[in-house]
Amino acid sequence: MKKDWIKELRILVEGSFLADEPLKKHTSFRIGGPAELLFIPKTEIDLINAIKFLDKNGIKRYIIGAGTNILVSDKGLNGCVIKLANALKGIKILKRERSSVYLNVMAGEPLRRLNEFAVKNGFIGTEFCFGIPGSVGGAIAGNAGTRLGEMADIVESVTLIREMGEVETISRGRLFFAYRECGLPEDSVILSSIIALKDGGKDVSIKSVEELKIYRKKSQPYGYPSAGSIFKNPPEDSAGRLIELAGLKGLRLNDAEISQMHANFIINRGKADAKSVIKLIDIARSEVQKLFGIRLELEIRLLGEF
Ligand code: EPU
Summarised one tens digit per residue, pLDDT across range 131-155 is 889 999 999 999 999 888 999 999 9
For helices 111-121 and 202-219, what crossing angle results, to 10°?
A: 140
Of residues 183 and 238, more confidence is placed in: 238
Which helix (H) or strand (E) segment holds residue 159: the answer is strand 155-161
What mean pLDDT is predicted for residues 230-253?
97
Across the chain, what does the average pLDDT equal?
94
Task: Give me the percent of the chain exceeding a pLDDT of 90.
Answer: 84
If you average pLDDT over residues 162-166, what whole number do you get? 92
Rounded to the nearest whole angstrom, what is the distance from the C-alpha of residue 204 to the centroid of ligand 1?
23
Say yes or no to pLDDT of 260 above 70. Answer: yes
> How many Å separate Cα 282 from the centre of its chain?
22
Largest CA distance in the chain: 58
Has residue 209 got a pLDDT over 80?
A: no
**pLDDT (0 to 100) of residue 27:** 98
| Annotated catalytic residue 181 | no
Give residue ranges with CB within 6 A of ligand 1: 146-147, 216, 219, 228-229, 232-233, 238, 240-241, 244, 262-264, 299
Residue 210: what pLDDT? 75
Residue tagged active-site, from 135, 180, 285, 287: 180
Asked if 98 is an active-site residue, the reply is no
b/e map 32-68, b = 16+ CB within 10 Å: bbbbbbbbbbeebebbbbbbbbbbeeebebbbbbbbb
Least trusted range by pLDDT, from 157-171, 177-191, 252-266, 285-299: 177-191
Q: Which of 15-19, 142-146, 193-197, 296-300 has the lowest mean pLDDT?
A: 142-146
Task: Quote the pLDDT of residue 190.
Answer: 96
Query: Which atom from ligand 1 is nearest to the alpha carbon of 228?
Result: 42
d(CA 106, CA 190) in angstroms, rounded, equals 9
pLDDT at 41: 97
Distance 300 CA to ligand 1 centre (A): 14
CA pair distance 113, 193, nearest whole angstrom: 15
- Name the pLDDT band for 130 (thresholds 50, 70, 90): confident
* Residue 204 in this model has a pLDDT that exceeds 60: no
Q: Tell me what pLDDT residue 62 has.
A: 97
Q: How confident is the model at residue 205 (pLDDT cuts 50, 70, 90)?
A: low
Burial class (CB in 10 A: 0-12, 13-18, 19+), 21: buried
The predicted pLDDT at position 127 comes to: 86
Residue 106: in which H helix or E strand, if any?
strand 100-106
In this prediction the pTM is: 0.94
